[in-house]
Structure 1
């Protein structure tokens, strides 16, 4: 099977293309992969509805940020036809203070329906790293 006939392979390709566009950043290009009514949930429960919202949020936190993919896994829900996609890796980039990072663990969880991303959950270590930098971490990293 290939991307044209395998919904799991297609969903993985959609997610990776979306993430690549998001990292440019190119929120308009990323928007081509999302459905109307998209729900994006970032760490801390922050809710967004478009890739441009994520780009704006990231611009407040990072001077720049990219993602190194480790794995993209997916599973088809046979009842709904949705494909659940899990992309894991590391964020790397530069904080607003000019210091760099490269081992910020992350996982993005997607639901793909009818060839479009309908929801995303974004999880990473950024908040913990920022707490540690501010001397507020409850335990060493």
Structure 2
């Protein structure tokens, strides 16, 4: 049976996300390539799952992802697979206030069976601005 790089990349990303939600940054780090980059909304850059776990520990009391779908596409020229995972974050803010409909999309680049980059986009910053009375428009 031939390798299916798209299915393999989707499985790697979903495993990574599962480990990240435990959180198990050590386990998640086994799925990332040397030189891994994680870019959060606003341009914050991290180089390991432990870095993002530490950041999330300050922003949320706890947080998980409720997956809607995972899609992927192979870039035949580079051998990279772009994997898109989306739906909602749910959890609690540091003050204990629960949330459950915080939209997100994570965009991963997978090559040779390892994640080389992920871009993390979600509504957290906008929600926090709104709560602080600093939003430029209603949510």
Q: Does 1:128 align with 2:115?
A: no
1:72-106 residue CA offsets vs partner (Å, 9 max, x unmatched): 00000010111000001100000001101000000
Q: How does 1:80-119 map to 2 (within 5 A)?
A: 80-119=78-117
TM-score normalised according to structure 2 size: 0.98
SS at match of 1:80: coil
Residue of structure 2 equivalent to 1:72: 70
Aligned length: 139
| Structure 1, gaps ≥5 residues long | none
Runs of 4+ in 1 over 3 A off after TM superposition: none
| Structure 2, gaps ≥5 residues long | none
Supply the distance in 2 between the matched residues of 1:80 and 1:123 (Cα, whole angstroms).
24
RMSD: 0.9
